[in-house]
């Protein structure tokens, strides 16, 4: 351990955020990294715990704590402190092939599990440390194409180029298999490209990595919607294995009157068009400019809709969240190292507070009815207040109406209520079974078809990018073993 007393001597120091009033004028990333000296001090804060919870991903009380990729966090924190960023990158790459992604969009369950966070309330800046290692590696040329010296002759199709698909393709290509990735959209990246706004991950970051993967021999085919304009049967015939990393793309809809009115959109469609218009340099066909915006859903996607709408020039933004407002600090039934179920105010909400003077969120509420005008375009909504009630038979907490209703104005609505499984045509075209959550059913990542495997959100349901990367590695190992009889991945 480099600095035995580092966690006592140095306070946590985060990267500087560009202020909300400035950053809402563009779609750029808005964190300014620390300089080398301050970053070394942050690495020195790592305690080198005897049992480091940070590097072991667990599901505790239905949430992730610790790193699902099992990153060697204490090791590369020490290497940051000693100034050996090249070796730190080597240690990081042992477990994480895409640190430039996770250091931008991961909610950092590793920091939740950090003992510094438990003892002092200020975890080590693990996510920002990872960012520093990754970007330094690109700047110094440590990350570059590494040609594959020999090939196995096995051919594998990966359907979907989100984080799970990219990870599976990368690991299998390193093993020497010939990998082709099919992406239904016009750009590679899946969720990373179109599901997450540019201000969280600028899209040249994805292109930078994909270009390296292409140089290493991975083939990418875009505008290829397998099961629609590309035959599923053809893939099964042409390839030794097919891996489905298609995501859980069925959005949860709001069962309220007039929910099919014009001006009501699924959040993923809105965010996709916003990013596509930014990259192509044309106005978005779905715009919040000079409109009263209603966002339904209080999670990360809802927050992304808030931030995007503000950048488009929304007149007002309201965000509806069904669950009660979380407490400011942990309750006794939510101990460390569980993920803290506490109030989180994210970047979009901070921007709404800065622009409109108040938090956009209304907790314990749901839409009862959408109001429409003569052209069947949304004009507002009737909101029902809710309260928690325990079901004595099951022990579950249900949210029930209080009888208190109120109206809100809305010229445009974005539904960010999560997802309910894989698109039906995937099951139909490949003849696969689904599980109880409408995800692709698998045994050790293998589906009911001996040549077809599944991973990521398509297999486990809506989850974190870091879990998708882990699933990509695990499915690559399973496929490799099925082809070669063993796996060294």
Give the pLDDT confidence of 338-383 residue by residue, as tens digits.
999 999 999 999 999 999 999 999 999 999 999 999 999 999 999 9
Q: Decide if 332 is inside a domain.
A: yes
Tokens 């793309």 correspond to what residue?
A: 249
pLDDT for 4 equals 87
Please state the domain count of the chain: 3
- Is residue 49 scored above 90 in pLDDT? no
- 414 forms beta bridges with 265, 295
Q: Decide if 451 is inside a domain.
A: yes
What is the distance between the alpha carbons of residues 178 and 174, in angstroms, rounded to a whole number?
10
Q: Decide if 60 is inside a domain.
A: yes
One domain for residues 378 and 283: yes
One domain for residues 409 and 284: yes
pLDDT for 121 equals 87
pLDDT for 321 equals 97
- Is residue 173 scored above 80 in pLDDT? yes
CB 148 within 8 A of CB 455: no
Q: Decide if 257 is inside a domain.
A: no
pLDDT for 2 equals 67
Give the pLDDT confidence of 219-232 residue by residue, as tens digits.
999 999 999 999 99
Q: Whole domain around residue 134: which residue ranges?
A: 6-140
One domain for residues 118 and 231: no
- Is residue 391 scored above 90 in pLDDT? no
What is the distance between the alpha carbons of residues 433 and 443, in angstroms, rounded to a whole number?
11
Q: What is the CATH number of the domain that holds 303?
A: 3.50.50.60
Q: Decide if 150 is inside a domain.
A: no
pLDDT for 3 equals 86
Residue that is last in its domain, among 357, 382, 415 = 415
One domain for residues 290 and 379: yes
What is the distance between the alpha carbons of residues 479 and 450, in angstroms, rounded to a whole number?
11
pLDDT for 72 equals 95
Structure tokens at 390: 């325990």
How many other CB atoms are there within 10 angstroms of residue 321's CB atom?
Answer: 20
Q: What is the CATH number of the domain that holds 47?
A: 1.10.1060.10
CB 323 within 8 A of CB 364: yes
- Is residue 1 scored above 90 in pLDDT? no
One domain for residues 226 and 277: no
Residue that is last in its domain, among 140, 172, 202 = 140
pLDDT for 393 equals 84
Q: Decide if 165 is inside a domain.
A: yes
Mean pLDDT of all residues belonging to the chain: 96
Give the pLDDT confidence of 453-485 residue by residue, as tens digits.
999 999 999 999 999 999 999 999 999 999 999
pLDDT for 396 equals 87
Q: What is the pTM of this model?
A: 0.96
Q: Decide if 469 is inside a domain.
A: yes
One domain for residues 394 and 273: yes
One domain for residues 59 and 178: no
Residue that is last in its domain, among 87, 113, 140 = 140
One domain for residues 445 and 306: no
Residue 55 vs residues 48, 109, 110, 459: alpha-carbon distances, Å: 11, 9, 7, 23
- pLDDT average, residue stretch 35-47: 96
Rg of the chain over Cα atoms, rounded to whole angstroms, equals 23
What is the distance between the alpha carbons of residues 72 and 298, in angstroms, rounded to a whole number?
33
pLDDT for 332 equals 92
- Is residue 260 scored above 70 in pLDDT? yes
One domain for residues 321 and 192: no
Sheet with 292-296: strands ordered across: 264-266, 412-415, 292-296, 316-320, 361-362
- pLDDT average, residue stretch 284-306: 97
Burial (CB count <10 Å: 0-12, 13-18, 19+), residue 378: buried
What is the DSSP pairing of strand 365-372 with strand 378-390? antiparallel
- Is residue 433 scored above 90 in pLDDT? yes
One domain for residues 134 and 180: no
One domain for residues 433 and 403: no
Give the pLDDT confidence of 392-430 residue by residue, as tens digits.
888 888 999 999 999 999 999 999 999 999 999 999 999
Q: Decide if 256 is inside a domain.
A: no
One domain for residues 131 and 159: no
In this structure, what DSSP letter does residue 88 have? H
């Amino acid at each position: 351990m480099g600095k035995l007393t580092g966690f006592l001597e140095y306070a946590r120091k985060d990267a500087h955020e560009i202020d909300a009033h400035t950053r809402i004028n563009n779609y750029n990333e808005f964190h300014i990294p620390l300089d080398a000296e301050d970053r070394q001090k942050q690495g020195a804060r790592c305690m080198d715990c005897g049992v480091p919870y940070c590097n072991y991903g667990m599901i505790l009380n239905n949430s992730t704590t610790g790193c699902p990729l099992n990153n060697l966090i204490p090791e590369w924190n020490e290497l940051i402190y000693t100034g050996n960023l090249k070796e730190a990158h080597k240690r990081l790459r042992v477990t994480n092939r895409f640190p430039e992604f996770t250091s931008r969009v991961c909610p950092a369950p590793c920091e939740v599990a950090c003992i510094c966070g438990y003892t002092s309330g200020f975890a080590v800046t693990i996510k920002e440390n990872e960012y520093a290692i990754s970007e330094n590696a690109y700047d110094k040329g440590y990350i570059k194409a590494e040609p594959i010296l020999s090939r196995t002759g096995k051919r594998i199709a990966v359907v979907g180029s989100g984080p799970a698909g990219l990870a599976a393709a990368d690991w299998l290509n390193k093993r020497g298999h010939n990998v082709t990735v099919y992406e239904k959209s016009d750009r590679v990246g899946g969720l990373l490209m179109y599901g997450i706004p540019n201000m969280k991950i600028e899209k040249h970051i994805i292109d930078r990595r994909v270009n390296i993967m292409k140089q290493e021999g991975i083939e990418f085919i875009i505008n290829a919607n397998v099961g629609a304009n590309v035959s599923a049967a053809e893939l099964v015939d042409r390839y030794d294995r097919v891996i489905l990393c298609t995501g859980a793309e069925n959005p949860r809809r709001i069962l309220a009157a007039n929910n099919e009115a014009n001006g009501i959109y699924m959040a993923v469609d809105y965010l996709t068009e916003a990013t596509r218009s930014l990259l192509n340099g044309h106005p978005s066909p779905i715009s919040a400019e000079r409109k009263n915006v209603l966002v339904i859903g209080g999670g990360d996607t809802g927050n992304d809709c808030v931030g995007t709408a503000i950048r488009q020039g929304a007149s007002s933004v309201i965000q509806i969240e069904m669950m009660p407002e979380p407490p400011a600090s942990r309750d006794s039934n939510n101990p460390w190292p569980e993920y803290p179920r506490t109030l989180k105010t994210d970047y979009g909400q901070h921007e709404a507070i800065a622009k409109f003077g108040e938090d956009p969120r209304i907790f314990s509420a749901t839409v009862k009815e959408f109001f429409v005008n003569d052209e069947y375009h949304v004009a507002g909504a009737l909101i029902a207040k809710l309260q928690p009630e325990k079901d004595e038979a099951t022990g579950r907490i249900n949210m029930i109406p209080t009888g208190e209703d109120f109206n809100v104005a809305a010229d445009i609505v974005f539904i960010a209520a999560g997802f309910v499984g894989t698109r039906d045509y995937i099951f139909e075209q490949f003849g696969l079974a689904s599980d109880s959550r409408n995800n692709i059913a698998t045994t050790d990542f293998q589906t009911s078809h001996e040549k077809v495997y599944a991973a990521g959100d398509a297999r486990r349901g809506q989850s974190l990018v870091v879990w998708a990367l882990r699933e990509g590695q695990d499915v690559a190992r399973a496929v490799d073993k099925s082809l070669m009889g063993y796996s060294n991945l």
